[in-house]
Amino acid sequence: MPGTTSKPRRKSASAAVPPGPAKAPALTHFDAGGRAHMVDVGDKDVTHRVARARGSISMSPATFDRIRDGGVAKGDVLGIARIAAIGAAKRTSDLIPLCHPLPLTRVAVDFELDAAGPAVRIEVVAETRARTGVEMEALTAAAVGLLTVYDMCKAADRGMRIGALELVEKSGGKSGPWRAGG
């Protein structure tokens, strides 16, 4: 008819519609009003919880050689970085505002020297028997360990790059085990 406009036809409800993205899990550190809060873990079971995190710091070959050979004037770079990482795991709730303080039962810190990088890799395992996980403790420890390497070597190499900080796996609690990439 002249003077009328046609409306686009709607697809019927039975028409095939590709599925949308999966609904993202709720962010537990926000209440229904969107305000930040500390998650209530009082009703969770105390279980053995473990988290493993890793990261790396790349550097010039000369800086790598000095770390490997113990030629840094400030001392044993990896020994001091190990102590810093353990201390950081213990202080995580002081640094991350909504993180619960946890009674850590173990923090293990290992370094790997990668001459091909050249880089230093860190791996941290944190454990507890608690009502919430230790992912943040493992990640914080790895980050501070790498930052300590940077701090101890920055006079020789301000171009070092920290990267690949990640949670590798975690276990314990209601959600069960989780592993990166799988």
List active site positions.
151
How many Cβ atoms sit within 10 Å of the Cβ of residue 74? 10
Counting Cα atoms < 13 Å in the Cβ hemisphere of 66 gives 19
**Coil vs helix vs strand at 58:** strand
150 Cβ partners below 8 Å, 6+ apart?
57, 160, 162
How far apart CA 94 and CA 171 sit, in angstroms, is 23
